[in-house]
């Protein structure tokens, strides 16, 4: 029951994220996704420490991941861009495209999680970007865009902590952000080999990623510096490319729909 209780907290985080988004509190909703990344790691540690893994826990964990990193980011992105007409995605063909993009992202997350559950896997790397990485990165990206964007987008919402990017404005970049959902949807279902934390061939990069991960969790708890989390996540993308081309065996995942 102990690891399943932690997984239940992840599901509650997803519910809180959607409720916040429905109230128009986009930033709060994104931070609930960030909190879920903590419980997502914790349930695995608890299960191993207590030797308490179970098939039920595996299924609950996948459902929590689909909610937090597949459905919630897509719902928050849709709500944010639909409700801010100045970003150009709220009506007409662009509005339809926004709906399709968000639906496609969620479907890709579901396929990624299902493939992970039924594949033999490899102890050193994942096939495709994990949903946790993608969903957490999107949540922090939206907070960063709001923090350095038009104040009217998130009236009454606060950004505690530092402004690592100073007075820079990201309004122009925000217009293109829904396209990032398509990119990460592809990365989740792709055959790219992503090294697991602690399994990178270069020891210094292993240490760097672990330090960045620990700092990221601490900053998430305190709702500080979402831009730092974005920088850390983007720095990991070239590591994925190096691992795919040079540091991992040329394996392919099981096909989604075998003959």
If one compares 74 and 43, the residue with the highest pLDDT of the two is 74
Q: Cβ distance 18 to 73 under 8 Å?
A: no
The pLDDT of residue 145 = 93
Spans of all domains in the chain: 2-191
Tell me, yes or no, if the pTM score tops 0.85.
yes
The whole-angstrom separation of Cα 229 and Cα 219 is 8
The whole-angstrom separation of Cα 28 and Cα 6 is 21
pLDDT tens readout for residues 105-153: 999 999 999 998 888 777 888 999 999 999 999 999 999 999 999 999 9
Annotate 20-31 with DSSP letters as a single string.
HHHTT-HHHHHH
Q: Cβ distance 156 to 76 under 8 Å?
A: no
Out of 1.20.120.1760, 3.40.50.620, 1.25.40.10, 3.40.30.10, the CATH code matching 2-191 is 1.20.120.1760
With 90 as the cut, is the pLDDT of residue 174 above it? yes
Phi, psi dihedrals of residue 201, rounded to the nearest 5°: -65, -30
The pLDDT of residue 159 = 83
């Amino acid at each position: 029951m102990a690891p399943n209780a932690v997984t239940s907290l992840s599901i509650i985080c997803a519910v809180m994220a959607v409720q916040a988004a429905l109230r128009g509190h986009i930033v709060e909703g994104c931070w609930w996704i960030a909190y879920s990344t903590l419980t997502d790691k914790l349930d695995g540690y608890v299960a191993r420490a207590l030797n308490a893994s179970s098939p039920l826990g595996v299924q609950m964990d996948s459902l929590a991941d689909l909610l937090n990193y597949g459905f919630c980011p897509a719902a928050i992105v849709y709500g944010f861009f639909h409700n801010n007409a100045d970003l150009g995605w709220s009506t007409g063909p662009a509005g339809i495209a926004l709906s399709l993009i968000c639906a496609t992202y969620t479907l890709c997350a579901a396929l990624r999680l299902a493939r992970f559950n039924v594949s033999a896997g490899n102890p050193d790397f994942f096939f495709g970007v994990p949903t946790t990485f993608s969903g957490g990165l999107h949540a922090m990206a939206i907070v960063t865009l709001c923090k350095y964007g038009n104040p009217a987008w998130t009236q009454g919402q606060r950004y505690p902590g530092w402004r690592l990017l100073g007075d820079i404005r990201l309004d122009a970049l925000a217009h293109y952000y829904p396209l990032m959902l398509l990119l990460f949807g592809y990365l989740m279902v792709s055959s790219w080999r992503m090294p697991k934390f602690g399994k990178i061939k270069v020891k210094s990069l292993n240490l760097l990623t672990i330090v960045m991960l620990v700092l990221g969790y601490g900053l998430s708890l305190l709702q500080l510096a979402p831009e730092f989390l974005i920088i850390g996540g983007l720095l990991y993308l070239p590591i994925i490319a190096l691992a795919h081309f040079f540091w991992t065996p040329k394996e392919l995942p099981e096909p989604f729909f075998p003959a």
